[in-house]
Amino acid sequence: MQPSVEAKVSSKDIWTLVSTMEDPSKKPQKPADVGEVDGLEKPVATAAPEERDTFTLFVGPRGAGKSSLTATFRSSTKVEEVKPTTALDYVFVRSRANGRAAVAHMWELASTKCVNEMIKVPLGSERILNGALVIVLDLSTPGDVVPALVKWLTTLYAVVHEVLKAKEKNPVEKLAVSALKQEAMTRYGTAHPDKDEVTPLPLPLLVVGNKYETFREEDSVKRKGVTQAVRYLAHMYGANVLFTSTKDKVLVTQFRSVMKGFAFRTMPRGASKEVDPAKALFVPAGADLFEDIGVPKSAGWRQDRFSKDQHEEKARQWIKIASEYYPPTGAVDDGSSQREMEERDGKEGEEETPNQFPEPSIDRARQQKRKKHKKMDSVFGIVGKDFVLLAADCKVVRSILVYKDDEDKSINLDDHKVMVASGPQSDRLAFGEYIQKNMKLYELRNGVTLNGAATANYVRGELARFLRKAPYQVNLLIGAVDAAPETPVEPSLHWIDYLGAMVKVNFGAHGYGSNFCLSIFDREWKPELELDEAKKILKMCRAELDMRFLVRNGQWAYKVRVTGSLGAI
């Protein structure tokens, strides 16, 4: 037994344990096998770490093709079946040269998780000296290329320096960190004219522009503007640049060759660059010149505005310049929208924990919902013995104006289900009619009518599906009374919000009215509730709103579903 060794291993994280595991079933290599394989292979198990083991992190926006490129590098035959990255995915590749196996450990980081903290997992203090970075850009959306590149360059720069700063506290490690930074400057060479203007990342960096087959069909002038920004930023941060496509065999071969040299730290120095606009871009680190790249003709550009330490501000200039060629789609979030949302919440007195898992499309929906929440419409629902009773105000408002006071906010899905909705007029009508017509289509195609629970699950699924495409800002209550022959009556009420959350309830409410009336529902509701008692409860709710709510209520519409009938009261 070796207690000291076991204690040492148990203190490491899961990735270190994976990289230090030996394959007990693997036999020592015979001398006759030395040098037989020269290339990449997918090993069955990871061998013990050697001096040549490397640790590479892939980052980039959602859908850029990180997983596809990793699969291409690993010679996967099913590249198009690769699943999207979830949180932090790990793979490894082994290369043999001169009989000595080297392992490249690779992580793919999903762009919407705790980015800064997740980066520190593969680039921890034990691995960062042998670490490397790959930024994958989606060239099929040119408007987001420069914003995404700036975001990831500045984020990685900050995190890497934070980890190295903590490592420098150890005098022995400080020498290794200094050597790493000096090596970063050697990529340019001692006589490079731009060496005093660049701020390279200490780790090797590769910027890969994926989906080049789409980008090369763009207008040549616009394409040149984006390429200029990518070259400038890559040169400033000491990165290699490569445009590629998984659908072009020539570019795939080039990518695998470059990636192999990068992953195993065997890239030859002094490689020639390819900057012909008609061909895919390839520029090794330190091979470019600011003079060759040129400066934009925009009036907002100032080369001497920022000092060398203000590299982030200089980089962000390119976002505005690139937007003159291609406007950004807004999918790349640099965190500003999140900060604005939290500041507004603080001003309104709403306590909310910081969003540690940002997702741009959902965060924008939340911001939009907060703005529209002041429309102040309310809907209620309550379940009784053999019925469901729903109520909604009849106002259509915008800002401080009331447009009408006789709007019916209920939608009859069929003869035993009704849905009431609150939210903007356009979303409420569009989504309500969409659900109503599709449920009728389902019934005609299959000859089956969905019950209350199935209907609620279908509606919730559609809201969630649209959430990341074109969100509907609607909150819903779905009431149903399922009565089949020789089965007991089953009234049900499902509460669904605009984010797709759903729960089956005995009573429910949406809007500002819920702040006043949920306590009344909680106190007055009881099992086997009669219809007259339910009507009395809703009258109590309306009286409470008339007395305490700042905004007038106007007319209300009520829908009741009793066994065998549907109507207004």
Q: Which CATH class is domain 54-296+307-325?
A: alpha beta
What lies within 8 Å, CB to CB, of 281 at 6+ separation is: 209, 227, 230, 231, 241, 242, 243, 274, 275
Q: What is the mean pLDDT, run by run of 10 residues, along the chain of 569 residues? A: 40 56 48 38 41 84 88 70 75 74 86 74 87 93 92 92 89 88 88 88 94 91 91 92 92 91 81 88 91 73 65 84 85 54 42 54 62 66 91 81 84 90 89 93 91 93 88 92 77 92 93 89 91 91 86 74 54
What is the dihedral sign for C-alpha 404, 406, 411, 414?
negative
Q: Which two tokens stand for residue 114?
A: 């705790």
Residue with tokens 């050597």: 179
Cβ neighbours of 42 (radius 10 Å): 11
Q: How far apart (Å, rounded) are the C-alpha atoms in residues 494 and 504?
A: 4
Residue 159 is which amino acid?
Answer: V
Task: Say if CB 262 and CB 206 are below 8 A apart.
Answer: yes
pLDDT, tens digit (0-9, with 9 covering 90-100), for 458-490: 999 999 998 888 888 899 999 999 877 667 778
- Residue 463 has a pLDDT of 92
54-296+307-325 with 373-562: one CATH topology?
no
CB–CB of 533/463 below 8 Å? Answer: no
Distance CA 435, CA 438 (A): 5
* Residue 296 pLDDT: 72
Q: Which CATH architecture has domain 373-562?
A: 4-Layer Sandwich (3.60)
Task: Name the one residue in this structure whose structure tokens are 């900057």.
Answer: 275
Rounded CA separation 216/218 (Å): 5
pLDDT at residue 33 in the model:
37
pLDDT given at position 420:
93
CA distance 16 to 427: 50
Provide the 8-state DSSP code for 552.
Answer: -
Domain ranges of the chain: 54-296+307-325, 373-562
SS3 for 26-85, per residue? Answer: CCCCCHHHCCCCCEEECCCCCCCCCCCCEEEEEECCCCCCHHHHHHHHCCCCCHHHCCCC
Backbone angles phi, psi at 350, to 5 degrees: -95, 120
- The pTM of the full predicted model, rounded to 2 decimals, is 0.54
Q: What is the DSSP string of 364-409?
A: HHHHHHHHHGGG---EEEEE-SSEEEEEEE--EEETTEEEES----
Q: What is the pLDDT at residue 25? A: 45
